[in-house]
Amino acid sequence: MATHRSLLVLGAAVLPLIFGVPAAGAQPAAQPAASYACRADTKFGKHLLSLRQGVDAKAPTTVKPNHRFSITVDLKPGQLPTEVKSFKLKEVRDLSLRVPIPPNTSYVSAALTGGSGLNSTPSVRLDGRTAIITVAGPIPGGAAYQLPSLTVRLKAGRRGAVVETRLQGTSYDAPGLTLTAKIKWKFVTLTAPVNCYPNPNPALTRTTIR
């Protein structure tokens, strides 16, 4: 079993959100850090931010045809800010993260383990060939939390194929990560939907079927 670790750091323009973003890695390699481009839609307009997060992920480097194997993603703990500039972050809720089932595999199962400070029980479900992790929350501003670890069980396809895992999402209008943030500005409390997509979106795991 090979391990890849990527250290990701948040950078936000207007709405600072810090939370774990599952990503997966198969083997040590020099590659771009996974990151999300996000857009928060508020009554005062649309605000852009970038979001990154540290993860530890494991997957086998090789697997035999028709054999089962797992990709496991362990997320680092985080803490939401209470305020940045003139915005107060009151809570984050209804987080959904989408992870495509890689080509050259068939889905067997997915499971979540651990997690804390989420004020809800996270769930994972399959929609077509996409695993969707949902955290209802709410996670209050300033709170420490940890998202659960995700394990996806897969069945390898044909010999010679390479299984690549990528995050889902291609634009703000076709996101792979969504959430709702409640923020306060002066005497006004706003509910802002946030849509994110991975940019860039390199292959984060590679498993050769042989």
Order of strands across the sheet with 105-113?
2-6, 55-59, 68-75, 149-156, 105-113
| Mean pLDDT calculated for residue range 87-105 | 91
Query: Residue 197 pairs with which residues in a beta bridge?
Result: 37
**Quick one: residue 115, left, alpha or beta (phi over 0 = left, psi -120 to 50 = alpha)?**
left
In the prediction, which pLDDT does 44 show?
76
Rounded Cα distance, 13 and 149, in Å? 28
Please say if the pLDDT value at position 4 is more than 50. Answer: no
| Six token digits for residue 100 | 């495509």
In the prediction, which pLDDT does 131 show?
92
Please say if the pLDDT value at position 192 is more than 60. Answer: yes
In the prediction, which pLDDT does 146 show?
86
- CA terminus-to-terminus distance, the chain: 15
Question: Which residues form the domain of 16?
Answer: 2-209
In the prediction, which pLDDT does 147 show?
83
**Other residues' Cβ atoms within 10 Å of the Cβ of residue 147:** 29
Rounded Cα distance, 110 and 44, in Å? 39
Domains held by the chain: number:
1
| Mean pLDDT calculated for residue range 61-87 | 84
- We report the CATH number of the domain holding residue 90 as 2.60.40.2270
Q: Which of 169, 124, 126, 177 is nearest to 148 (CA)?
A: 124
Q: Which range among 99-103, 104-108, 146-150 shows the weakest confidence by mean pLDDT?
A: 146-150
**Other residues' Cβ atoms within 10 Å of the Cβ of residue 57:** 25
| Mean pLDDT calculated for residue range 102-130 | 95
Please say if the pLDDT value at position 129 is more than 70. Answer: yes
Assess contact for 91 and 140: CB atoms under 8 A.
yes
In the prediction, which pLDDT does 53 show?
64
Rounded Cα distance, 66 and 139, in Å? 41
Q: What element of type H or E holds 84? A: strand 83-84
In the prediction, which pLDDT does 193 show?
94
pLDDT, tens only, 130-186:
999 999 999 999 998 888 888 999 999 999 999 988 888 999 999 998 999 998 888
Upper half-sphere CA count for residue 186 (Cβ side, 13 Å): 0
Enter the pTM of the model. Answer: 0.79
| Six token digits for residue 207 | 């498993």
Rounded Cα distance, 63 and 69, in Å? 7
Query: Residue 87 pairs with which residues in a beta bridge?
Result: 84, 185
Top-confidence residue, 58 or 191: 191
pLDDT, tens only, 7-58:
222 333 334 444 443 333 334 333 334 588 999 888 778 888 887 766 677 8
